[in-house]
Amino acid sequence: MSGLEIERKFLVHKAGRPYKEQAYASSRIRQGYICSERGRTVRVRIRDGRGFLTIKGPSGEAGMTRYEFEKEITLDEATHLMELCEPGLIDKTRYLVKSGQHVFEVDEFYGENDGLVMAEVELQSEDEPFTKPDFIACEVTGDRRFYNSSLRKMPFTLWRDALPEEFQ
């Protein structure tokens, strides 16, 4: 897949974690970054025994839109490329939750990002309407602290106390 990726990101309320019960699928994801400079990232991901290589360009002004190229690679290739990654891997479980006409991807992070739960929804346009599930809290689209490539460098556990208690 390649083209423009348009997505919005949200923090998830800490109480109850209802997204788990609402999810129709889940998968464990491990990912690393070969390059995570501002404006361009090269990511290696292993998800459900499959490998992926993803290249992303800079985000637009609102932080919602950017170019994305993704290609499936073999698990062996992904495993070897993980060895080339910058320090700090991302480890998370992704839950898929349908809401209206959209699917929200809810990521529950582990390790140095333990306690962080974010949801994102992909859109066809920046102004496309969507129905938020009840577990969605504040929007963090465009806040670089919540980019996975940033969480690798500055993990959530180092700055989570700066957020309201309901998100810690």
Residue-wise pLDDT for 106-120, tens only, equals: 999 999 999 999 999
- For 129, other C-beta atoms within 10 Å of its C-beta total 9
Q: Which of 19, 33, 95, 147 is catalytic?
A: 33
Q: Which of 141, 142, 40, 44 is nearest to 89 (CA)?
A: 44
Which comes out higher in pLDDT, residue 71 or 167?
71
Q: Place 82 in a pLDDT band, splitting at 50, 70 and 90.
A: very high
* Residue 33 known to be catalytic: yes
pLDDT greater than 70 at residue 167: no
Q: Which of 117, 149, 152 is nearest to 133 (CA)?
A: 117
Report the alpha-carbon distance of residue 59 to residue 67 in Å, rounded. 8
